[in-house]
Chains A and B, each alone.
Chain A
Amino acid sequence: MAETLSGIEKLKAKVGVRWQPREYLIEGEMIRRFAHAVGDNNPLWKDGNIAPPTFTLSIGFEQFVEDLIKLTPFNTVLMASTEIEGYQPIKLGDSITVVFKISNLRERKGQTGQMAFMTFESSYKNQEGQLVARCRQMVIGY
Protein backbone atom coordinates (compact mmCIF):
# COMPACT_ATOMS: atom_id res chain seq x y z
CA MET A 1 0.00 0.00 0.00
CA ALA A 2 2.75 2.41 0.96
CA GLU A 3 4.40 1.65 -2.34
CA THR A 4 1.19 2.37 -4.24
CA LEU A 5 0.83 5.72 -2.54
CA SER A 6 4.38 6.74 -3.26
CA GLY A 7 3.76 5.75 -6.91
CA ILE A 8 0.74 8.02 -7.07
CA GLU A 9 2.72 10.81 -5.45
CA LYS A 10 5.37 10.46 -8.15
CA LEU A 11 2.71 10.83 -10.81
CA LYS A 12 1.05 13.75 -9.03
CA ALA A 13 4.32 15.63 -9.05
CA LYS A 14 4.26 15.40 -12.86
CA VAL A 15 0.83 16.99 -13.34
CA GLY A 16 1.20 20.18 -15.38
CA VAL A 17 4.87 19.52 -16.12
CA ARG A 18 5.83 19.55 -19.79
CA TRP A 19 7.87 16.59 -20.97
CA GLN A 20 11.04 17.49 -22.80
CA PRO A 21 10.32 18.00 -26.53
CA ARG A 22 11.21 15.09 -28.79
CA GLU A 23 11.69 15.34 -32.52
CA TYR A 24 10.67 12.68 -35.04
CA LEU A 25 11.49 12.57 -38.74
CA ILE A 26 8.44 11.28 -40.62
CA GLU A 27 9.36 8.54 -43.06
CA GLY A 28 7.14 7.00 -45.71
CA GLU A 29 7.42 3.60 -44.10
CA MET A 30 5.96 4.94 -40.82
CA ILE A 31 2.93 6.27 -42.68
CA ARG A 32 2.46 3.11 -44.74
CA ARG A 33 2.85 0.90 -41.69
CA PHE A 34 0.27 2.93 -39.80
CA ALA A 35 -2.30 2.91 -42.64
CA HIS A 36 -1.71 -0.81 -43.14
CA ALA A 37 -2.29 -1.51 -39.43
CA VAL A 38 -5.61 0.34 -39.59
CA GLY A 39 -6.50 -1.45 -42.84
CA ASP A 40 -7.01 1.93 -44.47
CA ASN A 41 -6.43 1.76 -48.23
CA ASN A 42 -7.12 5.41 -48.95
CA PRO A 43 -4.91 6.35 -51.94
CA LEU A 44 -3.99 9.61 -50.15
CA TRP A 45 -1.70 7.75 -47.70
CA LYS A 46 -1.06 4.53 -49.54
CA ASP A 47 2.14 5.91 -51.06
CA GLY A 48 3.38 7.18 -47.71
CA ASN A 49 3.44 10.85 -48.77
CA ILE A 50 0.62 12.19 -46.60
CA ALA A 51 -0.30 10.82 -43.17
CA PRO A 52 -3.88 10.13 -42.10
CA PRO A 53 -5.07 12.50 -39.35
CA THR A 54 -4.97 9.79 -36.67
CA PHE A 55 -1.27 9.14 -37.45
CA THR A 56 -0.46 11.74 -34.77
CA LEU A 57 -1.40 9.05 -32.22
CA SER A 58 1.77 7.18 -33.17
CA ILE A 59 4.26 10.03 -32.93
CA GLY A 60 6.29 9.81 -29.75
CA PHE A 61 3.63 7.68 -28.05
CA GLU A 62 5.89 4.74 -27.29
CA GLN A 63 8.49 6.90 -25.52
CA PHE A 64 5.84 8.74 -23.54
CA VAL A 65 4.17 5.49 -22.43
CA GLU A 66 7.56 4.10 -21.39
CA ASP A 67 8.14 7.17 -19.22
CA LEU A 68 4.62 6.90 -17.83
CA ILE A 69 5.00 3.23 -16.92
CA LYS A 70 8.08 4.06 -14.87
CA LEU A 71 6.02 6.58 -12.89
CA THR A 72 2.77 4.70 -12.51
CA PRO A 73 2.09 2.16 -9.77
CA PHE A 74 -0.58 0.45 -11.91
CA ASN A 75 -0.28 -2.86 -13.75
CA THR A 76 -2.72 -2.05 -16.48
CA VAL A 77 -3.56 1.10 -18.34
CA LEU A 78 -6.74 1.26 -20.44
CA MET A 79 -7.52 4.00 -22.91
CA ALA A 80 -10.67 5.89 -21.91
CA SER A 81 -10.90 8.62 -24.52
CA THR A 82 -9.06 10.18 -27.45
CA GLU A 83 -9.38 13.61 -28.97
CA ILE A 84 -7.37 14.71 -32.00
CA GLU A 85 -7.28 18.07 -33.70
CA GLY A 86 -5.47 18.37 -37.01
CA TYR A 87 -4.65 21.78 -38.46
CA GLN A 88 -2.65 20.64 -41.45
CA PRO A 89 -1.65 17.23 -42.80
CA ILE A 90 1.61 15.69 -41.63
CA LYS A 91 3.75 14.75 -44.63
CA LEU A 92 6.68 12.59 -45.56
CA GLY A 93 9.92 14.37 -44.63
CA ASP A 94 8.34 16.52 -41.92
CA SER A 95 10.24 16.80 -38.69
CA ILE A 96 7.64 16.77 -35.93
CA THR A 97 8.40 17.98 -32.43
CA VAL A 98 6.10 16.53 -29.79
CA VAL A 99 5.56 17.77 -26.26
CA PHE A 100 3.53 15.73 -23.77
CA LYS A 101 2.01 16.88 -20.51
CA ILE A 102 -0.17 15.18 -17.90
CA SER A 103 -2.93 17.74 -17.46
CA ASN A 104 -5.12 16.03 -14.90
CA LEU A 105 -5.04 13.15 -12.43
CA ARG A 106 -8.00 11.86 -10.43
CA GLU A 107 -7.82 9.00 -7.96
CA ARG A 108 -10.69 6.67 -7.22
CA LYS A 109 -11.24 3.52 -5.23
CA GLY A 110 -12.47 0.86 -7.61
CA GLN A 111 -13.54 -2.77 -7.17
CA THR A 112 -10.01 -3.95 -7.80
CA GLY A 113 -8.42 -1.41 -5.49
CA GLN A 114 -6.95 1.94 -6.31
CA MET A 115 -7.60 3.45 -9.74
CA ALA A 116 -6.58 6.68 -11.37
CA PHE A 117 -7.88 8.63 -14.34
CA MET A 118 -5.06 10.42 -16.12
CA THR A 119 -5.50 12.98 -18.85
CA PHE A 120 -2.52 13.82 -20.99
CA GLU A 121 -2.13 16.34 -23.77
CA SER A 122 0.32 16.50 -26.61
CA SER A 123 1.17 19.11 -29.22
CA TYR A 124 2.84 18.53 -32.58
CA LYS A 125 4.87 21.19 -34.40
CA ASN A 126 6.52 20.84 -37.77
CA GLN A 127 10.02 21.96 -38.84
CA GLU A 128 8.67 25.47 -39.51
CA GLY A 129 7.35 25.77 -35.98
CA GLN A 130 3.73 25.54 -37.11
CA LEU A 131 1.32 23.74 -34.82
CA VAL A 132 0.00 20.90 -37.00
CA ALA A 133 -1.95 18.84 -34.46
CA ARG A 134 -2.97 18.48 -30.85
CA CYS A 135 -4.19 15.45 -28.88
CA ARG A 136 -5.86 14.94 -25.55
CA GLN A 137 -6.31 11.46 -24.18
CA MET A 138 -7.55 9.94 -20.97
CA VAL A 139 -6.37 6.63 -19.57
CA ILE A 140 -7.49 4.57 -16.60
CA GLY A 141 -4.76 2.97 -14.53
CA TYR A 142 -5.68 0.08 -12.22
Chain B
Amino acid sequence: MSIQLYYQDVSKGDEVAPLVKEPTPRQLVMWAGAVGDYMPIHYDQDYARSRGLEGIIVHGQLIGAFLGQLMTDWVGEQGRLRKLSCSYKGMNYPGEVVTLRGKVLRKYIRGGEHFVECSLWAENPKGEKTASGAAVVILPYGDDYKRKGRTRR
Protein backbone atom coordinates (compact mmCIF):
# COMPACT_ATOMS: atom_id res chain seq x y z
CA MET B 1 0.00 0.00 0.00
CA SER B 2 1.10 3.55 -0.71
CA ILE B 3 2.38 5.84 2.02
CA GLN B 4 -0.17 7.38 4.38
CA LEU B 5 -1.53 10.79 3.39
CA TYR B 6 -1.46 13.35 6.22
CA TYR B 7 -3.44 16.55 6.68
CA GLN B 8 -0.22 18.52 6.24
CA ASP B 9 0.32 16.97 2.80
CA VAL B 10 -2.81 18.55 1.37
CA SER B 11 -3.29 22.03 -0.09
CA LYS B 12 -6.23 23.71 -1.75
CA GLY B 13 -6.18 23.03 -5.49
CA ASP B 14 -4.26 19.75 -5.19
CA GLU B 15 -5.40 17.06 -7.54
CA VAL B 16 -6.25 13.58 -6.33
CA ALA B 17 -4.42 10.81 -8.21
CA PRO B 18 -7.01 9.75 -10.81
CA LEU B 19 -8.60 6.31 -10.83
CA VAL B 20 -9.22 4.70 -14.21
CA LYS B 21 -11.92 2.06 -14.65
CA GLU B 22 -13.22 0.21 -17.65
CA PRO B 23 -16.46 -1.46 -16.58
CA THR B 24 -17.53 -4.45 -18.66
CA PRO B 25 -21.04 -5.96 -18.94
CA ARG B 26 -19.71 -8.67 -16.59
CA GLN B 27 -18.84 -6.06 -13.97
CA LEU B 28 -22.35 -4.60 -14.25
CA VAL B 29 -23.78 -8.05 -13.57
CA MET B 30 -21.46 -8.43 -10.57
CA TRP B 31 -22.59 -5.05 -9.27
CA ALA B 32 -26.24 -5.93 -9.87
CA GLY B 33 -25.76 -9.05 -7.76
CA ALA B 34 -23.78 -7.29 -5.02
CA VAL B 35 -26.37 -4.56 -4.41
CA GLY B 36 -29.50 -6.26 -5.75
CA ASP B 37 -30.22 -3.78 -8.54
CA TYR B 38 -31.76 -5.80 -11.36
CA MET B 39 -33.03 -2.99 -13.60
CA PRO B 40 -32.81 -4.44 -17.14
CA ILE B 41 -31.32 -1.21 -18.58
CA HIS B 42 -28.04 -2.50 -17.09
CA TYR B 43 -27.98 -5.92 -18.79
CA ASP B 44 -30.55 -6.12 -21.62
CA GLN B 45 -29.44 -4.23 -24.77
CA ASP B 46 -32.82 -4.41 -26.53
CA TYR B 47 -34.67 -3.25 -23.46
CA ALA B 48 -32.20 -0.39 -22.87
CA ARG B 49 -32.70 0.79 -26.48
CA SER B 50 -36.47 0.57 -26.13
CA ARG B 51 -36.15 2.97 -23.20
CA GLY B 52 -34.36 5.58 -25.30
CA LEU B 53 -30.79 4.69 -24.33
CA GLU B 54 -27.93 3.92 -26.73
CA GLY B 55 -27.46 0.58 -25.05
CA ILE B 56 -26.96 -0.83 -21.55
CA ILE B 57 -25.57 1.74 -19.16
CA VAL B 58 -23.32 1.58 -16.13
CA HIS B 59 -25.25 1.80 -12.83
CA GLY B 60 -25.04 5.33 -11.44
CA GLN B 61 -24.34 3.87 -8.01
CA LEU B 62 -21.35 1.96 -9.40
CA ILE B 63 -19.90 5.30 -10.56
CA GLY B 64 -20.61 6.50 -7.01
CA ALA B 65 -18.75 3.50 -5.62
CA PHE B 66 -15.82 4.23 -7.98
CA LEU B 67 -15.70 7.77 -6.59
CA GLY B 68 -15.74 6.23 -3.11
CA GLN B 69 -12.74 4.10 -4.07
CA LEU B 70 -10.98 7.16 -5.49
CA MET B 71 -11.27 8.73 -2.05
CA THR B 72 -10.47 5.69 0.10
CA ASP B 73 -7.40 4.96 -2.06
CA TRP B 74 -6.29 8.57 -1.59
CA VAL B 75 -6.83 8.88 2.19
CA GLY B 76 -5.06 5.61 2.97
CA GLU B 77 -5.54 3.21 5.82
CA GLN B 78 -5.79 5.88 8.54
CA GLY B 79 -8.06 8.26 6.63
CA ARG B 80 -11.87 8.14 6.66
CA LEU B 81 -14.47 9.01 4.07
CA ARG B 82 -17.12 10.88 6.03
CA LYS B 83 -19.37 12.02 3.20
CA LEU B 84 -19.72 11.37 -0.51
CA SER B 85 -22.25 12.95 -2.82
CA CYS B 86 -22.64 12.75 -6.56
CA SER B 87 -25.15 13.56 -9.27
CA TYR B 88 -25.32 11.52 -12.43
CA LYS B 89 -25.43 13.88 -15.39
CA GLY B 90 -24.71 11.63 -18.31
CA MET B 91 -24.46 7.98 -19.21
CA ASN B 92 -21.41 5.76 -18.95
CA TYR B 93 -21.40 2.75 -21.24
CA PRO B 94 -19.64 -0.55 -20.54
CA GLY B 95 -16.50 -0.98 -22.63
CA GLU B 96 -15.69 2.70 -22.26
CA VAL B 97 -13.06 4.06 -19.91
CA VAL B 98 -14.33 6.06 -16.93
CA THR B 99 -11.79 8.33 -15.27
CA LEU B 100 -12.52 9.37 -11.69
CA ARG B 101 -10.96 12.63 -10.58
CA GLY B 102 -10.88 14.88 -7.57
CA LYS B 103 -9.53 18.22 -6.45
CA VAL B 104 -9.05 19.69 -2.97
CA LEU B 105 -11.53 22.51 -2.28
CA ARG B 106 -10.59 23.34 1.30
CA LYS B 107 -9.24 21.97 4.57
CA TYR B 108 -10.16 22.78 8.15
CA ILE B 109 -9.89 21.54 11.72
CA ARG B 110 -13.13 21.06 13.66
CA GLY B 111 -13.62 19.32 16.97
CA GLY B 112 -10.00 18.19 16.90
CA GLU B 113 -10.48 16.37 13.58
CA HIS B 114 -8.75 17.26 10.35
CA PHE B 115 -11.18 17.62 7.46
CA VAL B 116 -10.53 17.96 3.75
CA GLU B 117 -13.25 18.68 1.19
CA CYS B 118 -12.82 17.67 -2.43
CA SER B 119 -14.80 18.14 -5.58
CA LEU B 120 -15.14 14.90 -7.53
CA TRP B 121 -16.17 13.97 -11.00
CA ALA B 122 -16.26 11.14 -13.53
CA GLU B 123 -15.21 11.63 -17.14
CA ASN B 124 -16.05 9.59 -20.22
CA PRO B 125 -13.51 9.09 -23.07
CA LYS B 126 -14.68 12.37 -24.68
CA GLY B 127 -13.71 14.22 -21.51
CA GLU B 128 -17.36 14.95 -20.66
CA LYS B 129 -18.34 14.96 -17.00
CA THR B 130 -20.87 12.18 -16.57
CA ALA B 131 -21.08 12.58 -12.79
CA SER B 132 -19.97 15.24 -10.37
CA GLY B 133 -20.02 15.59 -6.65
CA ALA B 134 -18.05 16.20 -3.50
CA ALA B 135 -16.45 14.37 -0.62
CA VAL B 136 -15.52 15.13 2.96
CA VAL B 137 -12.63 13.10 4.34
CA ILE B 138 -10.85 13.02 7.68
CA LEU B 139 -7.08 12.70 7.55
CA PRO B 140 -4.59 11.85 10.27
CA TYR B 141 -2.36 14.63 11.52
CA GLY B 142 1.29 13.73 11.35
CA ASP B 143 2.64 14.69 14.78
CA ASP B 144 6.27 14.05 13.90
CA TYR B 145 5.64 15.20 10.37
CA LYS B 146 8.58 16.55 8.42
CA ARG B 147 7.72 17.86 5.00
CA LYS B 148 11.31 17.73 3.87
CA GLY B 149 12.15 14.52 2.10
CA ARG B 150 8.56 13.36 1.85
CA THR B 151 7.17 12.45 -1.50
CA ARG B 152 3.81 13.93 -2.36
CA ARG B 153 1.29 11.48 -3.71
**Residues of chain A at the chain B interface (Cβ within 8 Å):** 30, 33-34, 36-40, 42-44, 52-54, 57-58, 61-63, 65, 75-87, 89, 112, 137, 142
Partner of B82, one of A54, A65, A81, A85: A85
* With A54-B64, A79-B88, A84-B68: A65-B37 Cβ-Cβ less than 8 Å: yes
Contacts of B37 in A (CB 8 A): 61-62, 65
Contacts of A65 in B (CB 8 A): 36-37
Shortest CB distance A119–B (Å): 12
Q: Could you tell me the dominant secondary structure of chain A's interface residues? A: mixed
Q: Could you tell me the dominant secondary structure of chain B's interface residues? A: mixed
**Residues of chain B at the chain A interface (Cβ within 8 Å):** 1, 21, 27, 30-31, 33-39, 41, 51-52, 59-62, 64-66, 68-69, 72-73, 77, 80-88, 133
Shortest CB distance A34–B (Å): 5
**How many pairs, one residue from A and one from B, have CB atoms within 8 Å of each other in the complex?**
114
* With A37-B33, A43-B1, A76-B51: A86-B88 Cβ-Cβ less than 8 Å: no
Contacts of A44 in B (CB 8 A): 72, 77
Contacts of A75 in B (CB 8 A): 51
Inter-chain contact B72/A42, CB cutoff 8 Å: yes
* With A33-B33, A85-B82: A57-B77 Cβ-Cβ less than 8 Å: no
In the complex, what residue of chain B is closest to A77 when comparing beta carbons? B39
Inter-chain contact B88/A80, CB cutoff 8 Å: yes
Contacts of A36 in B (CB 8 A): 30, 34
Inter-chain contact B69/A42, CB cutoff 8 Å: yes
Inter-chain contact A83/B85, CB cutoff 8 Å: yes
CA distance A112 to B62 in the complex (A): 26
